[in-house]
Amino acid sequence: MADQSNPETRTPEANRDTPGGSGPADPTSHEGISRRRLLGTAGATGLVLGAAGAAAGYAAAPSSAVTPLASVGSEQVLFHVKHQPGITTPMQARGHLVAFDLAAGAGRKEAAALLRRWSDTARRLMAGEPAGPHDTDVARDAGPSSLTVTFGFGHSFFGRTGLEQQRPAALDPLPDFSSDHLDKNRSDGDLWVQIGADDALVAFHALRAIQKDAGAAARVRWQMNGFNRSPGATAHPMTARNLMGQVDGTRNPKPTDADFDQRIFVPDNPQKDGANTPSWMANGSYAVVRRIRMLLDDWEKLSLEAQEDVIGRRKSDGAPLSGGTETTEMDLEKTDGAGKLVVPINAHARITRPDQNGGAAMVRRPFSYHDGFDADGTPDAGLLFICWQADPLRGFVPVQRKLDRGDALSPFIRHEASGLFAVPGGAAEGEYVGQRLLEG
């Protein structure tokens, strides 16, 4: 839970476009136009309807008319892009993380066929189209809703497919950390899929389609479900809050930063640029996934002042305790009248700053989760932490090692599952994700 977060503001870097391009026809349409694509095109004006207004609009529309989607439903993220979607895309309201293991006897050939199926399904669904002729219709009335589907490969995938020589050095297992209490059954995996959308049914529809596409080639190893604040739920775009009620940091690298690509993505030609990375990872990134339980009962016993000291920021607006607004640079040397540091020496925001960790930087793009309660009534809730970087040994690892040595937040969280995945660059038109690895 580093002091870096992703604003909910919609940006050009999200690779968004209005729906309406060419694509496979809806088999249920006599005119060859997907009903959801037509809805998405109609909603491209960006009209935002409140709950009551939307309901009234649907009720008043003639039965033969097509009601425009609200802007949330009409938002589309492109599939064929330089970097896979779901990395710089603004955080979505609903997310599913699922890892698969290849079935016994399945190898490189079966993996290639699976990634081809998955890529075709993701492309269709992200455009607001049915998954195929046997679509379940779960999201029939919705538009794309900012759906993204992102694919990655775990360390074990390369041994299962005979591609050990193509395994990147950056995919070596993460070191052990003293705060780890990892469940091996909910960690790692041959393949990893991240699904995000601004509508819960659209996200579930994609999850179900991906699971069905796996067929006999792979089985689910683990699945985690998360959520964030819905777009438009606040008066203006703002940094998200986590389940502790804190504004979850402000220091995420931004795509407009001059060194953003260098820190987050593998170079276009990694071997030419001197990176110890195979060429199939060009324009890719590495995702560290951690299920972090928040010990909310203990956290909520703290006073507001104590909570703010743990984080190093005001709970109300995320501003540093040294003063200013959320984006004001933190003054690490400022003291109060008694000579005491205003931002405590072990405050989470102080320890996780890139300038306190040799410049280590990563894009954090998490989801919150709540999976019910333990037998004693303790909430099983927290953060599905996902961070992206060009090399985890220069991004996640140094920051987590620093936190391991003494962080005021550590007594209130527990790392319960972990994974590291190589996420290749986006698929070009006519390609599937991972094709350069599996057919190279």
**SS3 of 370, please?**
strand
Identify the burial level of 216 via C-beta atoms within 10 angstroms of its C-beta, where 0-12 means exposed, 13-18 middle and 19 or more buried.
exposed
Cβ–Cβ < 8 Å for 144, 411: no
Residue whose tokens read 């104590």 = 306
Q: How far apart are CA 270 and CA 310, in angstroms?
A: 40
Cβ–Cβ < 8 Å for 385, 289: yes
Q: Catalogue the E-assigned strands of 295-337.
A: none
Cβ–Cβ < 8 Å for 107, 161: yes
**SS3 of 407, please?**
coil
Cβ–Cβ < 8 Å for 311, 301: no
DSSP string covering 32-83: S--HHHHHHHHGGG-----HHHHHHHHHHS-TTSPPPPPHHHH-EE-SSSSS
Q: How many beta carbons lie within 10 A of that of residue 238, not counting itself?
A: 16
Residue whose tokens read 């949330």 = 72
Q: How far apart are CA 223 and CA 392, in angstroms?
A: 23
Q: List CB contacts of 433: < 8 A, sequence separation 6 or more.
A: 84, 115, 118, 119, 122, 151, 424, 426, 427
Is 248 part of the annotated catalytic residue set? Answer: yes
Cβ–Cβ < 8 Å for 102, 188: no
Cβ–Cβ < 8 Å for 222, 99: yes
Amino acid identity at 208? R
Helix (H) or strand (E) holding 203: helix 200-214
Catalytic residue among 3, 190, 199, 248: 248
Q: Which residues are part of the catalytic machinery? A: 248
